[in-house]
Amino acid sequence: MKEQQHSRRTERILLLFVTVICVALALQFYNNIKKELKTTNQGYLAGTVVNLTAPLQTNQVKKILAEGGYFTDATYINFIAKNLTDIIALNGSLPNLGSLNKTDGMVDALRFNNSGSESGKLRFINSLAHIGMDSALYRQEKTNPQPYPSHVAVQKENTGIEMKGRVSIEEKQVAPKGILVKLSEIITDDELDKIAANDQAITTDFFARTDEDGHFEFSNLKKDGNYSVLPIRPGFEFGASKGKAQIKNSITLPFVGKPHQLRLLDITEYRQIKNDKVFTVRTPKNFENTFL
């Protein structure tokens, strides 16, 4: 019995000791952050810091972005401020500032192209490379798409090796028919040297278009060849290309398209704004209440 009482007394002493340490650390943390909370409140009053909760004033955001020197294009500042206001109006608030660099901060890519700013157009053009296009192919697909069959033979020799698949789109109202599919053959350095020595012309890109149900097929692929496939459609992205190195057997590749979107802020802009602490997602009062 005495041993049990002694053990419990020891437990209580240790628990008290741990509690004192936790309280001391919490108070130290709070004292360290008090200055930052005070600075944030002063920023609210001066209009140099804004809390990202609805209702958010577009002009207030424009002022902060302009005075912070994050962008030099006034039209682009208006575009960013308007879309940021729309994002906050839709969500009410953000769980954390990092959400601006994730799904919550995504905007339809075409808006950047139509923003009327050179910065916006440049971001859109640069984004095309990530979905397998360039500006020339984008214009062609929008205005005068070239006809291709859904089944394309890469060479005359019947090798029995195929790359085929089906392309679907998340938005059910968009038909999967007529989506451009690009097959690329990756040539090794040794093969390139042989081709150059023989002065041969070689085709490495082949194109097909999906049929009514979204199917495509590339046949007669070279055994041990290296191939990748990627669907291409303006306004949509299908993820990374898929394929096979040193292919020996036929494979089937599924693709699902989703709207082509960009983060409202690119990584450099986001980091600068985050480091300058001009945006908050919680007020100092909210923080204090949660902390307590």
Average pLDDT value for the chain:
87
Per-residue confidence (pLDDT) for residue 99, from 0 to 100? 87
Identify the pLDDT of residue 185: 92
Residue 9 exposed, middle or buried by CB count within 10 Å (0-12, 13-18, 19+): exposed
CA nearest to 213, candidates 165, 253, 147: 165
Contacts 24+ apart (CB under 8 A), 78-84: 79/111, 79/112, 79/115, 79/116, 79/117, 79/120, 80/264, 80/265, 82/58, 83/107, 83/111, 83/264, 84/52, 84/56, 84/264
Amino acid at 131: I
pLDDT at residue number 197: 57
The token duo for 204 is: 């490495």
The token duo for 199 is 């002065």
Alpha-carbon dihedral of residues 171, 172, 173, 178, nearest 10 degrees?
A: 90
Please write the tens of the pLDDT for every residue from 181-218. Answer: 999 998 876 666 666 556 566 778 999 999 999 999 99
Q: Which residues of the chain have pLDDT under 70?
A: 1-6, 26-34, 37, 189-201, 284, 286-292
What's the pLDDT score for residue 119?
Answer: 94
Q: Are strands 242-244 and 227-232 parallel, antiparallel or unpaired?
A: antiparallel
pLDDT digits 0-9 by tens, 252-290: 999 999 999 999 999 999 999 999 989 988 876 766 666
List the beta bridge partners of residue 217: 151, 164
pLDDT at 199: 55
